[in-house]
Amino acid sequence: MTKEECKQVVLDIIADIAPDEDLTNIKPDVRLRDQMELDSMDFLDIVMELRKQHGIEVPEADYPQLASLDSCAEYLTPKFIALGK
Amino acid sequence: MRLCVFALKLRSVFHPLNTSTHYDVAIIGAGMSGLAAGIRLAHFGKKVCIFERHNAVGGLNGFYSLGGRKYDVGLHAMTNFVRPGVKGTPLTKLLRQLRIDRDEFALCEQKQSRVAFGPNGETSLRFTNDFAVFESEVARQFPAQIDGFRALVQVIRTHDEVALDTGYQSAREIVRRHLSDPLLEDMIFCPVMYYGSANEHDMDFSQFVIMFKALFFEGFARPFDGVRVILRVLVDKYRQAGGERRMKCGVARIVAQNGRAATLVLDDGTEVTADHVISSAGAAETQRLIESPITHPQSQITTGHPVGRLSYAETITVLDRQPAALGWGDDTIIFFNDSERFTYARSETQVDTRSGVICFPNNFDYGPDRQLAEGWFRCTCLASHALWADLPEEQYRADKAARYAEIQRSARRFLPPVDDATLTAATVATDMFTPRTITKFTGHLGGAIYGSPQKIRDGRTALSNLYLCGTDQGFLGITGAMLSGISMANLHVLAAK
């Protein structure tokens, strides 16, 4: 999996969780929270969907790594690769 | 013995899938909060089962059929309505958390509502789903109070009402810091209390803020077919997510062991176990279910948790025409009070008709070519559970008829006059619910409409794996009920370490 593909995975999850958000102009280097209305319940769901859909575990201490699309890709891509994806 | 075998066979015929006796999570009650908790948990792969004593879902916000008609039980309107695109409100949060598309609820907005005070409603404040209307009405009727009102609104806007750890603050005290006219104070408290307060006279400020936002900042809406649309969506989501449901199968006892809910004993005697138990039965009601093997069951009956003191009665009148055609106008909901002060307290008579709520379900905006087939006129008043609970059946029915007339007479003072003969001729069916009905539908002790005055925000109980959701957790209204189930499932199961 490439970092770009990984960003798409995260975007797909957000589209699923928050279908009322417009995701067309999300800037990868800006915090997701600053570009759309995502609260702690939504972040919990991103983590839960990563586990449910892709078998990836994100411990609570690592939640800050999910702040932006870029940081998501940095943090998650190796985890996908480690799972052979 | 043969009977036992037969019963077992019957069960396997009727519950071919319900053979398991261990769940990740068992939920007590298939009301709004229990269903919402169930959807969250099942969606994330938990093995979950909801146990419901009745044969219908919904609890306080259910529906029933009588004479070929479907009647809604609790719901006048769904509060917390916001239009598409408005973010960060309870409705948006719950739609996201339950993966519900807002079109599925098909909510139609109210036309207009009002608070009418005085022996014949001389002082009136109109409001709609646009808060500016309410604000301008306050400015018009109470010009000397408008600055204070705006300051109060600012305090409400910035208050964090869903924090799970705030203590009790008197809402009356905070409101009085900004408003000096008791009439305006009462006119604000009347709708807020009727739609969600389990406290007499006053309420916790956070609860006040939840309801004020739900009613005035956000607003009223209703699906064309009423509460059953919302329930159908919830039940479908729950089933699609893989959740199990056992109807007509309540939880009779919770067996405690080592500080945990070890076993649930069902009404039919079956035992099931679960890692977590979420109960929407109420705080005192849940406590009464707990049975510890080392103490005598009788000693558990006395409970430290206060039982709610407030109950309601409601009359339902079905009409052969729209209420507007009778001359009653377009109002959706009318909150009324005839006395100098508004008294929100346990009624000392069977019903207290000094104040109440009128609802015309016809007066939502269902679109240009759509209206409910019949007219509906509903009136709600405070009522005394004790004066209804133990009546012999015949007396109960006679009293219902007498109080029906009394409630309707009182409410009609706040509507444009329609003579008795016209109303009688237009009436095609009537029904009435009392505090007794509320106990039947909700299991709440004392017919407590909004549960206990003492809410338990974090849902914790004496047992480490047993949590409360719903009324006694303290998020109010049906949107609040669903958010309560969601929050407790998140906090205690999904996000638990």
The 10s digit of each residue's pLDDT in A37-62 is 898 889 999 999 999 999 999 998 99
Looking at residue A77, its pLDDT comes to 96
Residues from chain A that touch B490, judged by Cβ atoms under 8 A, are: 41, 44
- Whole-angstrom Cα distance, residue B482 to residue B479? 5
- Chain B residues touching residue A41 (CB < 8 angstroms): 93, 96-97, 486, 490
3-state secondary structure of B14: helix
Tokens of B28: 């007590």
In the block, tokens 């052969």 appear at B320
Phi, psi dihedral angles at B215 (to 5 degrees): -90, -45
Domain A3-82 CATH (choose: 1.10.1200.10, 3.20.20.70, 1.10.1060.10, 3.40.50.2300): 1.10.1200.10
Residue B394 burial (10 A CB sphere; 0-12, 13-18, 19+): exposed
Task: Summarize pLDDT for B19-38 with one digit per residue, the tens.
Answer: 559 999 999 999 999 999 99
Distance of alpha carbon A67 from alpha carbon A76, whole angstroms: 12
Same structural domain, B481 and B439: no
Nearest CA in chain A to B45: A52
Number of helices and strands in chain A (H, E)? 4, 0
Percent helix / strand / coil, chain A, rounded to 5: 65, 0, 35
Task: Mark which of B154, B182, B212 sits at the end of a domain.
Answer: B212
Q: Which pLDDT belongs to residue B474? A: 86
Contact (CB<8Å) B494/A48 = yes
Q: Are residues B415 and B328 in the same domain?
A: yes
- Residue B14, Cβ density class (10 Å: 0-12 exposed, 13-18 middle, ≥19 buried): exposed
Nearest to A41 among B85, B93, B497 (CB): B93
Tell me the residue range of the domain where B344 lies.
309-449
What does each C-alpha distance from A5 to A31, A47, A50, A73, B15 come to in angstroms?
Answer: 19, 17, 14, 9, 45
- Return the pLDDT at B293: 58
Report which residue type is found at B106: A
Q: Could you give the C-alpha distances from B147 to B135, B138, B192, B390, B445, in angstroms and in order?
A: 11, 10, 21, 50, 43
Q: Are B397 and B380 in the same domain? A: yes
The angle that helices B90-97 and B32-43 make with each other, rounded to 10 degrees, is: 40
Q: B257 with B329, same domain?
A: no
Q: How far apart, in whole angstroms, are the C-alpha atoms of residue B475 and residue B493? A: 19
* Interhelix angle B477-489/B227-240, nearest 10 degrees: 20
Based on the fold, state whether residues B234 and B204 are members of the same structural domain.
Answer: no
DSSP 8-class letter at B492? I
DSSP 8-state assignment for residue B423: H
- What is the bridge-based pairing of β-strands B375-383 and B351-359? antiparallel
- Answer yes or no: do A39 and B88 touch at CB < 8 A: yes
Are B144 and B207 contained in the same domain?
yes
State the Cα–Cα distance between residues A59 and B356, nearest whole angstrom: 52
List A residues 39-68 in contact with B (Cβ-Cβ < 8 A).
39, 41-42, 44-45, 48, 52, 60
- Name chain B contacts of A19, Cβ cutoff 8 Å: 96, 101
Domain count, chain B: 3
Q: What is the DSSP letter of B58?
A: B
Contact B113, B126 (CB under 8 A): yes
B175 plus B62 within the same structural domain = no
Domain boundaries, chain A: 3-82
Closest to B457 in 3D by CA, of B445, B447, B471: B471
- B343 shares its domain with B442: yes
Residue A74 pLDDT: 96
Q: Do B199 and B264 sit in the same domain of this protein?
A: no
Show Cβ contacts of residue B56 under 8 Å, excluding neighbours closer than 6 positions: B62, B63, B64, B247
- pLDDT of B164 reads 65
CATH number at residue B251: 3.50.50.60
* CB within 8 Å: B88 and A18: no
Residue B104 lies in a domain: no
Length of chain A: 85
On whether both B442 and B358 belong to a single domain, the answer is yes
Output the CA–CA distances (angstroms, integers) from residue B12 to A56, A85, B7, B8, B269, in the order listed: 38, 43, 9, 6, 15
If you count residue pairs, one on A and one on B, with CB atoms under 8 Å apart, how many are there? Answer: 34
Q: What are phi and psi of B165, to 5 degrees?
A: -130, 20
Query: How confident is the model at residue B264, as a pLDDT?
Result: 96
Same domain, B174 and B282: no
Distance of CA B369 to the CA centre of its chain: 30
pLDDT of residue B12: 43
A15 touches chain B (CB under 8 A): no
B105 located within any domain: no
Which residues have a Cβ under 8 Å from the Cβ of B143 and sit 6 or more positions away?
A: none
A22 to chain B nearest CA, in Å? 10
- What pLDDT does residue B2 have? 44
B44/A48 Cβ within 8 A:
yes
**Which residues does chain B have with pLDDT short of 50?**
1-16, 296-302
Single pTM value for the model: 0.92
Q: Select the more confidently predicted residue: B185 or A84.
A: B185
